[in-house]
Every structure is written in structure tokens, then in C-alpha cells.
């Protein structure tokens, strides 16, 4: 989509007016070489050979790159092809699990005719010609117009508690969920009022600056278009919600899965109604919930009204949690995040994808599909074939492969799996690294619920 659009650099839009016409397509060589260099650096690791936690490489799977530009490839045999570059990204995924894959092939993602940005762990912001009446102006940076993407505020909902209150009544369940969304809107209003005061008192100078046009010296539009930012409602524990309501987890019963889809659809429709009523754009999302999935579960366990209900569906080590309940709130129990199947659900990978992919067009504020890999490093070509099949045949808009790793702090060797001592030098001084929700992090910094989830995760050695 960007190939024939005027490039922006050196303080100019090279559109044939402010500067001679130069499109992004002219820089194909530079882009391919820069991308290749970045992947090679990330494959090499840092000074000690450890994988980079940051920057977070977002790999866009776009229609434009699914087919080779044969004419260009023949004219530049020294350059890597699109296939070569994608293979490098899957090699990095097989080695460290670092990349995230942004699938823009499905129609709801724009199918190559829109722009997308995933931020944080999986917040998704997108724009297409149909959704933004200034899309073309922004694409060409006309009069300084540009895309601003982000969220004012995120409020997470304890979905299982809605089921506890509904006691098996579908209508009551949806009513309680709508009630939680109403409360979220009131929180959004408070946040916006507070932020308005921050802006008015000029305490947010970077976002509200109006950069000068280097050619005319006139100030352009505000750097961040605050009016285009969204308000995000995140869901936690959808699986446990339907499990309590129906008696079965999402992967155990078609009835339970259908209820989850219906509940999310009801919430999506209500979010649109709230957006119109309150003049704010509200999006549903799977929030990262690194601590929230634990806090909701613990909160329900310590409240007498919800304790018996929570004990029936919480994930993790309930016995250990009850034993230590009076001593700490950092307990090894949690609700399943977002609209995911439970981490430990023993289902084939494509069955997991089949059940989870339906939620992606509904949860338009962001979602992610996790593939937790076993200790064996998969063949990069095989992993790429799997990833491309996932992208072409499902609605999954964002996915990643997670590798558990052990880093020796004595010899700095990195090995697959979570080991108590280094397999190279035998040192017990090791650090475990895995993906907490979105980022690769040292497990030593995780709370007990996330550590328990790490133990519970279903890992896949065979992705065929």
C-alpha cells in the first residue's frame, strides 16, 4: 500500500510539491537490507548472547508480501527476497520466540488496504478508508494530517463475577456485563476530565506540541490527535465465566463456547451503543492482565459471597492458595486471560486456533494467540509454513511463539527449556526467561499466579 506513496524524511513530504517526488518504492533496496540486518542482530543476541527483550519486533504479514516481486528480484539478485526475509523472522521465533506476527490478511484487518499498529502486549489500533473519513489525507500527510493511535484508559472487567451473580440466567449475565461496561464509561469520563485539565495546564507538552513545518516555519497540527484516541474495556476470565454458567470450559462444550461468543458479541454491540451515546470510541480488548488475572481470582476467593463459586473454576493450585490465604495475597491462582482457552487445555494446536480465532474480529481493541513451544527448537521453514497457514486460514490477527529459556549467569549460554542448572557448565546460577503475557521477561520477577500458569501451559512440539 505504501509503495507508491510519497516518502517522508528530512523534514519534507516528497510529493512533487514541497520536494521532488520520491515514493517509498524507491527505497526497496534499503528497506530489505535494513530489515535483514535487524533480524541478524536479534538472532546474534546481546553482548552475552542473550535474546533481546526489546525492541519488540512486529512482523507484518501483508498481501503485498505474500507474492514475490519477480521483476525486482531478477534485477537485484544480491538482495534477499520476501521469502528470505520472512524465513529470518521465523528463524528468530524458533530460536528465541521474540517476534510477534501482525496478520493483516483477513478482511477485518483491512486485507492490505489499511494500516495497523499493535502496542504494548496486544492492543490493536487500525484505520481503513471505510473507518476514517480522512484516511487518504493522512496517508499523504496533507496539511499535516497524520494517524494518531492509542488509548486514553483501560478498564478490565471481572467476567466470572458476572456469572456468579447471574446464577445460570443468560439475560442476567448479559445485564451484569453491561452494568460493568456502564461503570467503565463513568471511569472514562473521570479520566478524560482529569486529562483535559492536564492539557489545559500544559503539563503534557510532548503529545500536544504542534511541530513547525521546516519549509514554511508555520506550525502544523498537534502531534497527537487526542480526539482520535479510544477507550478500552478489557475482558478477563471469559472461560471461567462460561464454565461456571454452563458447567463446562470453552474447549469442553460447544454450548459453553457458543455462550462465550454470544456474550462477547453482546458486549461488542453494547460498546457501539455506548460509543454513540457518550461520544467516545470504545473498544473491547484482551488486556495483558499480568496481575489482574490473579487479583480478580484472589478477590473472589476472599469474598465470602463469591468464594464457593470461585473455587469451582479458578485455575492454578487452589490448595496452596487456601493454605496461604491468611499470609499473602500473592497466590498461585488465576482466571484465564481474555477469550483464551485455559493455558493447560489439552487440545491440538489447530483446535485451539479454531476455537479462539472467532473472537478476534469481535475483540477489536486487541487480542493475541499464543503458541507455547516445547524444548525442541522447531525447523524455521516448518514454523513459517505453520505461521502462514495460520494467517491464511484463520481470523487470528496477532500471534506469537513462546520459547522457555534458561540463561546461565556463569557462562552465559542460552538453552531451551526451564532447567535448574546450566547443561553446558553445570552452574546452578541460572535465570529463566519466558513470555509473561506479551514480553519476554525473567521469571524471577513474576507473581506466583503467573509462575503457576507457566507450569500449567500446554506446550507444542509438533505443529504439523
C-alpha cell at 244: 461456571
Q: How far apart are CA 304 and CA 447, in angstroms?
A: 24
pLDDT score of 442: 94
Task: For the chain, list residues with pLDDT below 50.
Answer: none
Q: Report pLDDT digits (tens) over 307-333.
A: 999 999 999 999 999 999 999 999 999
pLDDT at 147: 82
Instruction: Please give the Cα distance from 374 to 438 (Å, whole number).
Output: 18
The per-residue pLDDT for 12 is 85
Dist. CA 75–CA 28, nearest whole Å? 12
Q: How far apart are CA 457 and CA 150, in angstroms?
A: 31
pLDDT at position 278 is 97
pLDDT of 116: 77
Which pLDDT does position 108 carry in this prediction? 86
The answer to whether 98 and 52 are in contact (CB under 8 A) is: yes
The whole-number pLDDT of residue 443 equals: 96
H/E segment holding residue 59 = strand 58-61
The model's pTM is 0.94
- Coarse DSSP helix, strand, coil percentages of the chain, rounded to the nearest 5 percent: 45, 15, 40
Q: Spell out the residues 6+ positions from residue 24 whose beta carbon is closer than 8 angstroms to its own.
A: 2, 3, 4, 5, 7, 31
> Tell me, what's the pLDDT at 67?
94
pLDDT for the residue numbered 121: 65
Q: What one-character-per-residue DSSP string does 268-319 give? A: HHHHHHHHHHHTS-EEEE----TTHHHHHHHHHHHSHHHHHHHHHH-EE-HH
Helix (H, G, I), strand (E, B) or coil at 203: coil
Amino acid at each position: 500500500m505504501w509503495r507508491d506513496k510519497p516518502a517522508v524524511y528530512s523534514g519534507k513530504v516528497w510529493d512533487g510539491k514541497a520536494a521532488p517526488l520520491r515514493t517509498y518504492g524507491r527505497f526497496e533496496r534499503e528497506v530489505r537490507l535494513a530489515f535483514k540486518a535487524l533480524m541478524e542482530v536479534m538472532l546474534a543476541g546481546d553482548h552475552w548472547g542473550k535474546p533481546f527483550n526489546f525492541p519488540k519486533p512486529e512482523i507484518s504479514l501483508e498481501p503485498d508480501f505474500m507474492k514475490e516481486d519477480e521483476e525486482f528480484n531478477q534485477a537485484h539478485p544480491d538482495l534477499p527476497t520476501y521469502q528470505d526475509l520472512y524465513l529470518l523472522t521465523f528463524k528468530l521465533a524458533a530460536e528465541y520466540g521474540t517476534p510477534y506476527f501482525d496478520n493483516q490478511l483477513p478482511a477485518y484487518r483491512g486485507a492490505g488496504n489499511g494500516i495497523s499498529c499493535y502496542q504494548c502486549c496486544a492492543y490493536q489500533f487500525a484505520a481503513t478508508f471505510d473507518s476514517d473519513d480522512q484516511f487518504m489525507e493522512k496517508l499523504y500527510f496533507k496539511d499535516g494530517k497524520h494517524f494518531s493511535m492509542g488509548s486514553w484508559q483501560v478498564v478490565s472487567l471481572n467476567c466470572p463475577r458476572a456469572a456468579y451473580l447471574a446464577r445460570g440466567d443468560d439475560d442476567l449475565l448479559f445485564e451484569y456485563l453491561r452494568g460493568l461496561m456502564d461503570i467503565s464509561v463513568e471511569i472514562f469520563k473521570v479520566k478524560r476530565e482529569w486529562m483535559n485539565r492536564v492539557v489545559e495546564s500544559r503539563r503534557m507538552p510532548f503529545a500536544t506540541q504542534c511541530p513547525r513545518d521546516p519549509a514554511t516555519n508555520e506550525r502544523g497540527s498537534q502531534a497527537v490527535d487526542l480526539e482520535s484516541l479510544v477507550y478500552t474495556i478489557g475482558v478477563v476470565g471469559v472461560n471461567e465465566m462460561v464454565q461456571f454458567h454452563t458447567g463446562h470450559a470453552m474447549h469442553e462444550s460447544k454450548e459453553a463456547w457458543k455462550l462465550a461468543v454470544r456474550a462477547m458479541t453482546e458486549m461488542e454491540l453494547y460498546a457501539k451503543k455506548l460509543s454513540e451515546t457518550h461520544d467516545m470510541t470504545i473498544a473491547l480488548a484482551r488486556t495483558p492482565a499480568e496481575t489482574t488475572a490473579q487479583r480478580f481470582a484472589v478477590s473472589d476467593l476472599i469474598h465470602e459471597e463469591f468464594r464457593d463459586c470461585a473455587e469451582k473454576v479458578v485455575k492454578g493450585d487452589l490448595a496452596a492458595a487456601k493454605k496461604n490465604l491468611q499470609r499473602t495475597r500473592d497466590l498461585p491462582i488465576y482466571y484465564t486471560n481474555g477469550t483464551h482457552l485455559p493455558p493447560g487445555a489439552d487440545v491440538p494446536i489447530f483446535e485451539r486456533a479454531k476455537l479462539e480465532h472467532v473472537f478476534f474480529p469481535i475483540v477489536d481493541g486487541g487480542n493475541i494467540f499464543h503458541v507455547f513451544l516445547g524444548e525442541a527448537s522447531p525447523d524455521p521453514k516448518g514454523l513459517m509454513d505453520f505461521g502462514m497457514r495460520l494467517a491464511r486460514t484463520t481470523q487470528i490477527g496477532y500471534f506469537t511463539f513462546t520459547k522457555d529459556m534458561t540463561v546461565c549467569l556463569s557462562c552465559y549460554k542460552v538453552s531451551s527449556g526451564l532447567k535448574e542448572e546450566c547443561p553446558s557448565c553445570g552452574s546452578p546460577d541460572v535465570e529463566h526467561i519466558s513470555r509473561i503475557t506479551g514480553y519476554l521477561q525473567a521469571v524471577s520477577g513474576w507473581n506466583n499466579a503467573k509462575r503457576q500458569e507457566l507450569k500449567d501451559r500446554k506446550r507444542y512440539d509438533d505443529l504439523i
